[in-house]
Amino acid sequence: MSGKIESYEDLAVWKAAMECAKLIYTITSSGPFGQDYLLRDQTRRAGVSIFSNIAEGFERDGNKEFCKILTIAKGSCGEARAQAIFAFELGYISKAQFDELSGRLTETNRQLSAFRSYLSRSELRGRKFA
């Protein structure tokens, strides 16, 4: 980690998760994906859950809790990717849309894993222990 992290908005992984959610909203706003309310809404919830869980974990102030919540965010990332696969299989999104979304979600998931690993090894234990 370089630079001082003062809020979750400073985290690169939070920014990446936000970009994933924005892309999900764009992709699910039109065409057959936009009309499949169940899949659209579930995919959006999964996308929003990623950055929301990062924010929640950060605000908990302890690395142990934060790591647990980052695991939940990873699960939401996987859920959103599975829904993208299903949407592609149904013909709701193009190969290019799928590749972009799947790639971003996969990279965000890698960032979540790396960040969780960093926190679990860190000597810093969160703001509440300062």
Contact (Cβ atoms closer than 8 angstroms) between residue 91 and residue 35: no
Residue range 94-117: mean pLDDT, rounded: 97
pTM summary value: 0.90
Burial of 116 (0-12, 13-18, 19+ CB in 10 A): buried
- Listed by start position, the domains of the chain span 9-122
Residue type present at position 18: M
pLDDT of residue 123: 72
Tell me the per-residue pLDDT of 65-97, one tens digit each, with 9 for 90 and over.
Answer: 999 999 999 999 999 999 999 999 999 999 999
Third-level CATH fold of 9-122: de novo design (two linked rop proteins) (1.20.1440)
Residue 127 has pLDDT above 90, yes or no: no
How does pLDDT run across 15-52, given as a tens digit for each residue? Answer: 999 999 999 999 999 999 999 999 999 999 999 999 99
Confidence of residue 129 (pLDDT cuts 50, 70, 90): very low
Q: Is 126 helix (H, G, I), strand (E, B) or coil?
A: coil
Q: How far apart are CA 79 and CA 98, in angstroms?
A: 14
pLDDT number for residue 3? 65
Alpha carbons within 13 angstroms on the beta-carbon side of residue 116 total: 19
Q: Which two tokens stand for residue 42?
A: 């579930």
